Amino acid sequence: MAPSTTPAPAASVFARSLDFRASLSRNRWNSFFSVLAGLFAVIAVIPLVLVLGYVLFMGGSLISARLLTELPPAPGLDGGGIGNAILGTIVVTLIASLIAIPVGVGGGIYLAEYSRSGWFAQFVRFGTNVLAGVPSIICGVFIYGLIVSTRVFFGQSYSAMAGGIALAVLMLPTVIKTTDEALKLVPQELRWGAIGIGASRFVTITRITLPAAFTPIATGVVLGIARAAGETAPLIFTALFSPFWPEGVFNPIATMSVLIFNFAIMPYEAQNALAWAASFVLVVMILGANLFARWVGRFTRA
């Protein structure tokens, strides 16, 4: 009688079927697309690295205490700094933040807590998305026609206040959308629990939902501020420029983005160098704001 052959255990057959075989067509295609995706990721990062490296190379060597604290020189002269532009950028961005943050957070609270699916909420969300895609120069022209040309602020035309309002218009979509989406992520059970123990809707929002959504709201606010600080076109039409220290929020004021624009097109090497230095300072400020937003997110999650 012939000896019977023992079949291979099912477990060993199943294990062999799971072994990676590079010769299979699906594995070759998988490797190809993995390399292609990695290549696209590298290409996406290259512009950022090149911009940071080139700005650092052209303007980083000019950074000094004198650059950060003195006024810019007259056209064609050497020396001076960008102190008034740094201070002006802070002033204009602060004005924009004081306008956009309360309005944006309040609008996001209304959309998420009071009118989630109503027609008016849908209209506001649609308008916010459209406003987020409007070119910044259109916002500048709008504020120019509304405030600058009409001289509504004590007879003044160009002013830091007008520039701050223009930047606030650009910040609003980011703050509203971030607040709206952040509050939607708060579990509904937290609201039910607060209402169940007798809390009003106002107390529930201020004590429960807003603290729970603080991280994404703060991140969106910081990113909105970073975007506003780097805008140029709205400020050309509203804040204009001033070679002097700020003289109040109802007068023209210097900002770094407009200084870069003005000095970069001048036929003088000294002004071109200051434009590169201002570019470096502005990039560092925006990069710092983005890093701070990430830190806020990680800190509050921890």
How many contiguous H segments (helices) and E segments (strands) does the chain have?
A: 14, 0
Q: Report the C-alpha gap between 180 and 182 in whole angstroms.
A: 6
pTM, 2 dp:
0.83
Task: Give the residue among 262, 257, 266, 259 at the shortest CA–CA distance from 232.
Answer: 257
> Could you give the domains of the chain?
69-74+83-301 (1.10.3720.10)
* All residues at 6 or more sequence positions from 213 whose CB lies less than 8 Å from its CB, including other chains: 179, 182, 183, 185, 186
The three-class DSSP label of residue 156 is strand
CA distances for 186 relative to 103, 108, 209, 302, angstroms: 21, 13, 6, 17
pLDDT in tens, the chain (302 residues): 455 555 555 555 555 556 767 777 888 888 899 999 999 999 999 998 998 889 888 888 888 899 999 999 988 888 889 999 999 999 999 999 999 999 999 999 999 988 877 788 889 999 999 998 889 999 999 999 999 999 998 888 999 999 999 999 999 999 999 999 999 988 889 888 988 888 888 889 988 899 888 888 988 898 889 888 888 999 999 999 999 999 889 999 999 999 999 999 999 998 999 999 999 999 888 888 888 877 876 765 55
Please give the pLDDT value at position 211: 87
Residue 189: half-sphere exposure toward Cβ, Cα within 13 Å: 0
Q: Report the C-alpha gap between 86 and 28 in whole angstroms.
A: 54
Please give the pLDDT value at position 114: 87
Q: How many CB atoms are closer than 10 A to CB 84?
A: 24
Task: Determine the residue type at 61.
Answer: S
Please give the pLDDT value at position 10: 54
